[in-house]
Structure 1
Amino acid sequence: MAVHKLVLDDVFDEVLCTLIAIHCSLEDYRLAYLLNKHLGITLIRKPSDLDYDKGKSTYSIFDWEDDKQLITWSFVSNVCKTESFQQINYESLFENQEKITKTTHLIPEYKRVNYFLKIDNEFNLSKEKYIVNSILRIPQIATAYSIDSSQLKSKDNLIFS
């Protein structure tokens, strides 16, 4: 009986995408509006947030599928803050609870980044610079820059589907 071997090296190549980090203190919906206005796109919030660790950390996500150029744009928050109460036992008559705020990040390597704009298409350098410069023209944004997604340790967190 003949043995057939399938070689799938080319099938599972890394997905090419452009990743832009955005430093901004605005809420996600306001920044999505400004990105829509300045980039000429139509980001819409998804009905459900990205859920990691079974609800322990959720990240807001907006996306837009450009049917003309077959490109998907995703705008996602990098920061998740959760509040919990911790019981403190002192030798007293009253129970004390302390509020604890825990911060988690979608991409832990970039803890100071507030948002990421992921474009599921590898643009040439001039188009990528044009997008970053358009984002930098928004007065409320402190800074924005491109990130090489192939160098990230937690790049699996950027798979949104």
Structure 2
Amino acid sequence: MAIHKLVFDDVEEDLFTLIAIHCTLEDYRLAYLLNKFLGITLIRKPLDLDFQNGELTYSIYEWEDCKQQTIWNLVSNVCKTEDYRQGNSNSLFSLQEKTTKINYLLPEYKTVNYFLKIDNEFNFNKEKYIIDSILKIPQVATAYSIKSDKLKSKDHLIFS
């Protein structure tokens, strides 16, 4: 019996540019400043990015550039959840301890606050222009490009 093997050499991967942004601004403030400095129009999506049936949600902003046929997304990398548990049972008063757990959209980049994902792979000059424009924002500590082949949890960047 003959064995047939299918090889997918010509399958094209999703092409996107991913920029990591380190800053302590709130998401709406960063979106406003990116709109101002990049000349784009990021708008908050009606529903946040949802993981684990609503337990983990990440804020997401989107802009569709019809001229370039490109979708820009600003997404938070950090999700904080609060949990209450019963404290010391030997006490006269019942105490509840509040614990805060921090979850990350891309756990391999725990120091990154936000990601700017652009569904189009730009040439080096255009990508450098975008990063330089982001670095002109005074509240941004740093911004840099991340290569998609270095990502372990690339599936978390599928927003549609």
TM-score > 0.5, shorter chain as reference: yes
Q: Give me the whole-angstrom Cα distance separating, in 1, the residues matched to 2:11 and 2:59.
A: 28
For residues 107 and 8 of structure 1, the distance between their equivalents in structure 2, rounded to whole angstroms, comes to: 30
- Alignment map for 1:11-160 (pairs within 5 Å): 12-160=11-159
Once the two structures are superposed, residues 110-158 of structure 1 have per-residue CA deviations (whole angstroms, 9 ceiling, x without a partner) of 0000000000000001110010000001111000000001210001000
Q: Which stretch has the larger CA shift, 12-21 or 40-49?
A: 12-21
SS in 2 for 1:19: strand
- CA drift of 1:55 comes to 1.4
| Whole-angstrom CA distance in 1 between matches of 2:26 and 2:7 | 43
Tell me the secondary structure at the aligned position of residue 31 of structure 2.
Answer: helix
TM-aligned CA distance change 1:15 to 1:27, over 3 Å: same
TM-score, length basis structure 2: 0.93
Distance change (3 Å), C-alpha of 1:151 and 1:22: same
SS at match of 1:113: coil
In structure 1, distance between residues paired with 2:87 and 2:12? 51
Partner amino acid, structure 2, of 1:47 = P
- Give the secondary-structure state (helix, strand or coil) at the position aligned to 1:131: helix
2: distance between equivalents of 1:117 and 1:10?
Answer: 29
Aligned length: 157
Query: Aligned equivalents of 1:85 and 1:12: distance in 2?
Result: 48
CA–CA separation in structure 1 for the residues paired with 2:82 and 2:17: 33
Q: How far is the alpha carbon of 1:14 from its aligned partner?
A: 1.5
Displacement of 1:10 in angstroms is 6.3
| Residues 74-97 of structure 1, C-alpha deviations (whole Å, 9 max, x = no match) | 000000011111112331232110
How many Å separate the matches in 2 of 1:10 and 1:121?
Answer: 21
Q: Secondary structure at the match of 2:85?
A: strand
Distance 1:63 1:44 in 2: 5
Residue type at the aligned position of 1:149: S
Percentage identity across aligned positions? Answer: 69
RMSD: 1.6
